[in-house]
Amino acid sequence: MEKFPFEKEKPEIVIIRESEIDPKLSPKNEEKSIKELINYGIINLNKPQGPTSHQITDYVKKILNIKIAGHSGTLDPNVTGSLIIALGDATRIVHHLLKAGKEYVCLMHLHKEVKEKDIKDTINSFVKKIDQKPPVRSAVKRKKRKREIYYITILEIKDQEVLFKVGCEAGTYIRKLCHDMGQKLKTGAHMVQLIRTRVGTLNDKSWCTLQELKDAYEYYSEGNEKELRKIIQPIETAIEHLPKIWVNDNAVNTLCHGADLAIPGVSKITSNINNKDAVAILTLKDKLICTGIANMNSREIKKSQKGITAKTKKVFMKRNTYKTTKPQG
């Protein structure tokens, strides 16, 4: 079953207190203008072979004529596929995508011929928590660490070539995984080609190329924003994998000022919140206000009458988007 941990059980939405959208506080139209999206959205870019992730991010900045952009999860120059680029004020959201699960399609070459059954049995034995030491050429300290392989699907075996899809915890080195598989098979193996097909909930279905982005921006410059809207996704797309808390309209502006979220402000929650989890805090219109760290689990939130539900960490919504005259709790 090709699922990341957050997908294995669909969380329920638990109503804490019935709330309605307050027309006096919330904006009548929260659809972002294309200019806002360019400075507050994300792009799922199909990175080509050759340039570094940093170079690709620079290309995106030049195409969109913006000063700030950041990518989530570096891809080696020879690796292609999903590179998530956050634009402008959305760059701080990449922290949550860095920790999201990743999926790759990998072509591995075995150094000797092996029975197909042995290949399958060995590869499938890696679907678990494994000890992995980063390769010599890596950006992190070389020490053993635990990484979980969520699933592996063998797509094709031809002679000494093995094509497989792997879903894994962030920070897993697929090149090293191939090496370790080869060691266990007692044949040796190396990675020939790698494509990242998924980051969190963002997959190859929403990919765009640099050329498509450039063409879409030229259309926008000529007055047609339709194609660019297809490419730039709202920031909320980047937090779909997180547990969520929705708040009453009169609590929004308080959070925009950086306050922690107290129980009276909570309207509804997902049932999968654990203490210390990263959570997304949303308006009743499903717009991201901020991210935070849960101070209670879902059961405690439902039972409690007072206390801090989540500690605010990063605020994304601008102050006074919800028109209160002063912060309210």
Q: Report the SS3 class of residue 92.
A: helix
Q: Report the SS3 class of residue 73.
A: coil
Tokens of 15: 């109503």
Mark whether 76 is an active-site residue: yes
Closest C-alpha to 201, from 233, 158, 162, 245: 233
Task: Look at the alpha carbons of 301, 307, 311, 315 in this order and tell me if their dihedral is positive or negative.
Answer: positive
The DSSP letter of residue 208 is: B
DSSP string, 106-165: EEEEESS---HHHHHHHHHTTSSEEEEPPPSS-SS----EEEEEEEEEEEEEETTEEEEE
Choosing from 76, 215, 260, 277, the catalytic residue is 76
Distance CA 329, CA 323 (A): 14
Distance CA 149, CA 176 (A): 13
Q: Would you name the residues annotated as active-site residues?
A: 76
